[in-house]
Amino acid sequence: MSEHIVVGVDIGTTKVCAVVAATDELDRVNILGMGLASSKGLSRGVVVNIDKTVVAIQEAIEEASRAAGVEVREVIVGIAGDHVQSFQSRGVITIREGEITARDVQRLLEDTTHVAMPADREILHVIPQEFIVDGQDGVKEPVGMSGVRLEANVHIITGLVTAARNIYRCIEKAGYYVSDIVLEPIASSEAVLHPEEKEIGVALVDIGGGTTDIAVFEGGTIRHTAVVAIAGNQVTDDIRKGLGLLRDQAEQLKRQFGVALVDLVKDDPLISIPGIAGKPEKTISQSTLAQIIQPRVEEMLEIIGIEIKRSGYARHLSAGIVLTGGGSLIPGTAELAEEILGLDARIGRPLGVAGGLAEEVSQPQFATGVGLVLHGLAQQKEGVRLLSGQRIAPGEKLFSRIFDRMKMWFQEL
């Protein structure tokens, strides 16, 4: 596979999405292929059935590779689920040579990971918040500076070892290698957020099928991450139980007629629902459907509000909130978010792609898949090799690879 072609695989609770992308001579990102498969092997973002997940991965990647006309051997994969946790850490080292080198930065970042952590968890990402040189804070790029004491505040994201291991196992059983694993809200942010939004403060909310991923940005970097287990499937289940429908019927009803804010229903059209087990069809109004959907979306937004407050950056979100993912497609979600959270809200669609199937992936449900390939292409541009062709053993400590990538990145500065 060409060095400038990357493949991202979003393994979601309701779908597996594979995206093949490459950059052209003008450095524009072109979407070469896209594949979708129904996902039935996950629950709340975590693999619960290996075989079903493998089949879905194979279907999605094969469809994407046929459209792109390339052979896929390695992929960048997303990870989510309510097992994901994050915390802040701080480290400090002394500088012997007087000038800070990339090796010093690596040593410092390693120091920040020396924290008590359960044996069943591993580090997914170590994200520097700021560096402090001899008491001078606010430093973003310390390499080359003079100093004798270097400190760093970092944001550490962890996940269950078994969850990551099962993702690796599924990809490998499907016949591919994992070149990188990325937290899904970080990937989505690559696709739907403007750099200016990250600078002045924004909360990204990716509403999937099984989980809702939250990432808070300020000052150009990520400040807080969280995953909550209320998402689109809970809305579907409420419709199913409230109206006595099959799950597929409830999902179709949500997608076709669902509204998250009762006040937005106009003319209140009647909706016919086929009867089950020989029973006659029944009719409901769209406002009745909205009355089922709105309380669950309100609950989800209230939990999101709690997470944003926990981040400590609730008053710093000048760009408001950006909603993405398939769950954000219910009309009225952004308006309800503004009402509940008191922040400006917009629906985030993938940005930064120029050609090929760009139009086909321009919807919120493809934000993570597009974000994964943008993440991979950005790393290639920065000179970070994505471990091409190397087999990553399930359960291997991920932070050893993170430090290798960071060291190479700082060498490029």
pLDDT band at 382, cuts 50/70/90?
low
Structure tokens at 381: 């541009």
- Over the stretch 133-150, which tens digit does the pLDDT of each residue have? 999 998 988 999 999 999
User: How does residue 32 score in pLDDT terms, banded at 50, 70 and 90?
Assistant: very high
Residue range 177-221, pLDDT digits in tens = 999 999 999 999 999 999 999 999 999 999 999 999 999 999 989
pTM of the model: 0.86
Report the SS3 class of residue 12: coil
3's CB contacts (< 8 A; 6+ apart) are: 380, 388
Q: Which residues fall within 8 angstroms of residue 319, CB to CB, at 6 or more apart?
A: 196, 197, 200, 201, 202, 344
pLDDT at 390: 33
Mean pLDDT value of segment 163-182: 94
Cα angle vertex 343, ends 338, 348, to 5°? 75
3-state DSSP assignment of residue 70: coil
- Collect all residues with Cβ–Cβ distance below 8 Å to 172 and sequence separation of at least 6: 178, 391, 394
Which 3 state secondary structure label does DSSP give 92?
strand
353 in Cβ contact with 361 (< 8 Å): yes
In this prediction, residue 55 carries a pLDDT of: 96
Q: Which position has the higher pLDDT, 94 or 408?
A: 94
What is the set of domains in the chain, with CATH numbers?
85-159+396-407 (3.30.1490.110), 195-350 (3.30.420.40)
Mean pLDDT of all residues in the chain?
88
Q: 64 CB contacts (<8 Å, ≥6 apart)?
A: 7, 18, 19, 20, 33, 34, 35, 72
